[in-house]
Amino acid sequence: MSISFRAVNEQDIPRICSFARDRTEQFFFFPAATWPLTPAQLQGSIDKRSDSTVIERDGVVVGFANFYRWETGGTCTLGNVIVDPQARGQGIGAQLIEHMIAIARTRHQAGEVTLSCFNTNVAGLLLYPKLGFTPFSIEERQDKQGRRLALIHLRLAASG
């Protein structure tokens, strides 16, 4: 099995859009998007973000992430993190996030990496602490049906 990373390209976008199997998964991945996620919506997000990256396994795109905030010498904030449903639970997400942390450290000289995770995203909440992220703030949000959610903000010191 061969794992590699590269910048996203236009041909990857329809595949990445297919990774969210339902409205809930899409909300975790891209809360501002409307269901179903279209290539135009994802391209619009990519155009405003930095370091949009895919992870490939044996030449097939199985995950995607980017930064929606990036400051040289400051903080990089991870967003749009998603893994192909067929590849979940196999360490792909962890490898992708570790790669993004390395980009934050090397390309942006980031002092810390942050991300946010909704309280109902159990997979994310179990993964991020394993990678060294710790919660530092909780913000009230609403899902698309108007239900209350907690958006948990986590951070990792770049040297960590």
CATH says 3-113 is which class?
alpha beta
- The answer, yes or no, to whether residue 29 has pLDDT greater than 70, is yes
Nearest to 132 by CA among 101, 92, 96, 103: 101
- Name the DSSP class of 92: H
Neighbours of 50 (CB within 10 A): 17
Percent of the chain surpassing pLDDT 70: 98
Mean local confidence (pLDDT), 106-119: 97
- Tell me the pLDDT band of 37, cut-offs 50, 70 and 90: very high
Q: So what's the pLDDT on residue 159?
A: 59
Which tokens in the block code for residue 38?
């279209």
Which tokens in the block code for residue 8?
């996203």
- The answer, yes or no, to whether residue 160 has pLDDT greater than 60, is no
Nearest to 54 by CA among 104, 16, 102: 16
Query: What predicted TM-score, i.e. pTM, was given to this entire model?
Result: 0.96
Domain ranges of the chain: 3-113
Whole-number average pLDDT of the chain: 96
- Tell me the pLDDT band of 158, cut-offs 50, 70 and 90: low
